């Protein structure tokens, strides 16, 4: 004590810091990676890896490496065999006969059979289970009766033999094969689910190209190559997902070589695409998404089509896209992304502020104040303020109400908002996924139609498209439906956002995919 508080304060402090440095210095290095493994970044810790429970993209992205479905998507968004070797569609699209590959094995070395498919599908529909994904499989005959607990089995799931499964649908549903590419339709081994119980979410066992080696929650998740994968092993030893919530931290890790690929944060976009070092290493893909400003079509003032169109015409979407997003996307003509559209759709609401203002002045007599619900995300707040200023010029007083995500979702699902900003990302690559949940009148609120749009003709056309087994007939129904929707403008259709990633020069055969489930991690190498 005497020495510490004696005259030599500076010496004491210097000794303290020197000691601290000596303790730490042997460990000094900015490197943090496992050789042979590719290092990616995740913004958030995946909530679960149980396919029955996954609703987030992060969980789906990892599950795609651990599990397989009957079918999967190729790089051109076609449905191709996965566990199934082939299939036959009969009964005007109501019967699917799947023939499974032999010798596809779970990681516990047991062969995948038709019984596993039936078990996995029934698990999603289980009346006592808590899967929020039952909508993926509820088109199967008898699924709803099983879900309600009235019957003990699903009538439409029939195991013909060890390698053959017959699935019967209640009625034809054209995107059914697409649905089977989703996480909820991944196949799980019953014995492992029973062994782990609720903890299967953290101990997933599938048949995929990777196995879960370690999951240090909120820190890192490591996948190791499955050397016996039926479709040929991956080219890398494994994948390390680093969980890094902060963008700047992720960029620092990338620049130090601790991450091999990162999704480019908006504020770093121009630096990477202009940098001679990085620009050839930037990849992009047109996202299967639509960003929109939704109207509450079920109540005044936006139950008025003319007013909705005027609001659409009062916002210069192209200018916002070019300046705010630096052109990282395509202007939307309607709800369906261009990549999925095989017909012509034209957005009739071109930017015309003076005409829009006149209509708004004529149509809105009593109250010119509308509420606009947004999330607390900074990018959304910035866009909302730009929209607010356009609408103010057009004569509408917009009050922005900023809510945290779950409160926001509850509010827009319950129809509290006049206007709301949100995006829709494809579950599967079919135009139906951008029409039925979002505009069919049976889906108001939490099911997807948050604009509460109702049009009997659109309902009929979407249903006709779902039923049709003929592609051109389906496209014609969807095309007419989309054009009616564009004309009636339940949303201001903003853009389809493009995703950008940047990789290290030594990463080879890297691809960026429009849907998370497409990336099995097999091709990428060093």
Partner 1 sequence: MSSYIIKRVILLIPMLLGITMITFALTKALPGDPVYTMVGERSSLEIIEKVRREIGADKGIVRQYIEYVSLLAKGEMGRSYYTNRKVLDDIKSRFPKTLVLAAGAMFIAVPPGIGLGLLAALRKGAIADRIISTASMIFISVPVFWSGLLIMLFFSLSLKLLPPSGTGGPRYILLPSLTLALPALATIIRVTRVSVLDVVNMPFIRTARAKGIKKKSINTLHIMKNALIPVVTVIGLDFGSYLNGAVLTETIFGWDGIGRFMMEGIIKRDYPVIMGCIIVGTVIFVLINLLVDVIYHYVDPRVRLHGTDR
Q: Which of residues 299-328 bind partner 1 (CB under 8 A)?
A: none
Residue showing tokens 């879960």: 212
Beta carbon nearer to partner 1, 24 or 152? 24
SS3 readout for 403-464: ECHHHHHHHHHCCCCCEEEEEEECCCCCHHHHCHHHHCHHHEHHHCECCCCCCHHHHHHHHH
Beta carbon nearer to partner 1, 354 or 406? 406
The interface region with partner 1, picked from 171-179, 264-272, 327-335, 404-412 by CB under 8 A, is 404-412
Site residues for partner 1, 6-25, by CB under 8 A, read 6-7, 9, 12-13, 16-17, 20, 23-24
Check: CB of residue 476 under 8 Å from CB of residue 295.
Answer: no
The interface region with partner 1, picked from 4-12, 79-87, 317-325, 491-499 by CB under 8 A, is 4-12
Instruction: Read off the tokens for 153.
Output: 């089995």
Q: Closest by alpha carbon to 121, among 107, 104, 138, 109?
A: 138
Query: Distance between CA 136 and CA 388 in Å, rounded?
Result: 37
Beta carbon nearer to partner 1, 57 or 464? 57
- Taking the complex as a whole, the smallest distance from the CB of residue 115 to partner 1 amounts, in Å, to 25
Which of 148-157's residues contact partners 24+ apart within 8 Å by CB, and which partners? 153/122, 154/118, 154/121, 154/122, 154/125, 157/118, 157/121, 157/122
Instruction: Read off the tokens for 356.
Output: 């829009």
Site residues for partner 1, 174-213, by CB under 8 A, read 198-199, 201-202
Q: Is 255 in the site for partner 1 (CB under 8 A)?
A: yes
Q: Which of 78, 108, 249, 323 binds partner 1 (CB under 8 A)?
A: 249
Site residues for partner 1, 116-135, by CB under 8 A, read 130, 132-135
Q: Is 404 in the site for partner 1 (CB under 8 A)?
A: yes
Phi/psi of residue 525, nearest 5 degrees: -150, 180
- Taking the complex as a whole, the smallest distance from the CB of residue 92 to partner 1 amounts, in Å, to 26
Site residues for partner 1, 37-96, by CB under 8 A, read 44-45, 47-48, 50, 53, 55-56
- Taking the complex as a whole, the smallest distance from the CB of residue 438 to partner 1 amounts, in Å, to 9
User: Which residues lie closer than 8 Å to 435 by C-beta, 6 or more apart?
Assistant: 335, 336, 462, 465, 478, 481, 482, 485
Q: Which of 82, 253, 333, 432 binds partner 1 (CB under 8 A)?
A: 253
Site residues for partner 1, 214-243, by CB under 8 A, read 216-220, 242-243
Size of the site for partner 1 (CB under 8 A): 72
Q: Closest by alpha carbon to 139, among 95, 98, 86, 190?
A: 95
Beta carbon nearer to partner 1, 59 or 490? 59
Calculate helix-pair angle for 378-393, 317-324, nearest 10 degrees.
Answer: 150
Beta carbon nearer to partner 1, 298 or 471? 298
Q: Name the DSSP class of 444.
A: B
| 3-state helix, strand and coil shares in percent for the chain, rounded to the nearest 5 | 35, 20, 40
Using CA of residue 101, residue 104, residue 110, residue 114, what is the dihedral sign? negative
Beta carbon nearer to partner 1, 4 or 300? 4
Binding mask 136-165 vs partner 1 (x if CB under 8 A, - otherwise)? -----------x------------------
Q: Which of 282, 339, 403, 480 binds partner 1 (CB under 8 A)?
A: 403
Q: Which of 18, 300, 410, 471 binds partner 1 (CB under 8 A)?
A: 410
Q: Which of 120, 181, 226, 258 binds partner 1 (CB under 8 A)?
A: 258
Beta carbon nearer to partner 1, 219 or 472? 219
Query: Distance between CA 300 and CA 417 in Å, rounded?
Result: 11
Query: Distance between CA 211 and CA 228 in Å, rounded?
Result: 11
Beta carbon nearer to partner 1, 252 or 283? 252
Site residues for partner 1, 435-474, by CB under 8 A, read 437, 446-448
Output the CA–CA distances (angstroms, integers) from residue 162 to 84, 98, 108, 159, in the order listed. Answer: 12, 11, 18, 7
């Amino acid at each position: 004590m005497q020495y510490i508080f004696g005259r030599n304060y500076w010496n004491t402090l210097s000794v303290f810091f020197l000691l601290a440095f000596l303790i730490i210095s042997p460990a000094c290095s900015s490197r943090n990676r496992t050789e042979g493994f590719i290092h990616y970044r995740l913004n958030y810790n995946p909530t679960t890896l149980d396919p029955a429970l996954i609703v987030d993209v992060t969980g789906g992205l990892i599950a795609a490496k651990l599990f397989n479905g009957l079918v999967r998507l190729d790089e051109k968004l076609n449905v191709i065999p996965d566990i199934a070797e082939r299939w036959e569609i009969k009964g005007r699209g109501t019967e699917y006969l799947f023939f499974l590959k032999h010798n596809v094995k779970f990681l516990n070395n047991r062969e995948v059979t038709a019984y596993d498919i039936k078990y996995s599908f029934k698990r999603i529909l289980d009346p006592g289970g808590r899967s929020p994904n039952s909508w993926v499989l509820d088109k199967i005959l008898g699924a709803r009766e099983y879900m309600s607990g009235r019957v003990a089995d699903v009538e439409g799931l029939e195991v013909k033999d060890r390698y053959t499964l017959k699935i019967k649908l209640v009625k034809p549903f054209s995107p059914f094969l697409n649905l089977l590419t989703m996480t909820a339709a991944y196949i799980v081994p019953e014995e492992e689910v029973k062994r782990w119980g609720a903890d299967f979410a953290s101990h997933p066992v599938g048949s995929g190209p990777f196995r879960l080696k370690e999951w240090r929650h909120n820190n890192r998740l490591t996948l190791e190559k499955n050397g016996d994968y039926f479709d040929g092993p991956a080219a890398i030893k494994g994948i390390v997902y680093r969980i890094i919530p902060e963008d700047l931290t992720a960029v620092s890790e990338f620049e130090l070589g601790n991450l091999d690929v990162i999704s480019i944060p908006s504020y770093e976009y121009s630096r990477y695409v202009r940098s001679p070092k990085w620009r050839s290493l930037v990849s992009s893909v047109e996202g299967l998404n639509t960003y929109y400003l939704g109207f509450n079509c079920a109540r005044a003032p936006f139950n008025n089509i003319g007013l909705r169109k005027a609001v659409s015409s009062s916002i210069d979407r192209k200018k916002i896209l070019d300046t705010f997003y630096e052109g990282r996307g395509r202007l939307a003509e309607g709800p369906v992304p261009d990549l999925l559209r095989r017909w012509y759709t034209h957005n009739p609401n071109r930017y015309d502020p003076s005409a829009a203002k006149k209509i708004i002045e004529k149509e809105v007599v009593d109250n010119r104040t509308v509420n606009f619900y947004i999330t607390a995300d900074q990018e959304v707040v910035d866009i909302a303020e730009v929209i607010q200023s356009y609408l103010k010029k057009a004569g509408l007083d917009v009050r922005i109400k900023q809510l945290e995500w779950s409160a926001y979702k509850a509010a827009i699902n319950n129809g509290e908002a006049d206007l709301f900003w949100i995006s829709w990302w494809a579950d599967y690559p079919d135009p139906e996924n951008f029409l039925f949940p979002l505009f069919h009148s049976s889906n108001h609120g939490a099911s997807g139609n948050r604009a509460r749009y109702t049009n009997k003709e659109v309902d009929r056309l979407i249903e006709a498209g779902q039923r049709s087994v003929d592609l051109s007939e389906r496209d014609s129904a969807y095309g007419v439906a989309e054009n009616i929707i564009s004309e009636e403008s339940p949303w201001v259709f903003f853009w389809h956002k493009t995703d950008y990633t940047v990789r290290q020069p030594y990463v080879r055969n890297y691809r960026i995919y429009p849907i998370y489930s497409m990336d099995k991690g097999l091709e990428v190498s060093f």
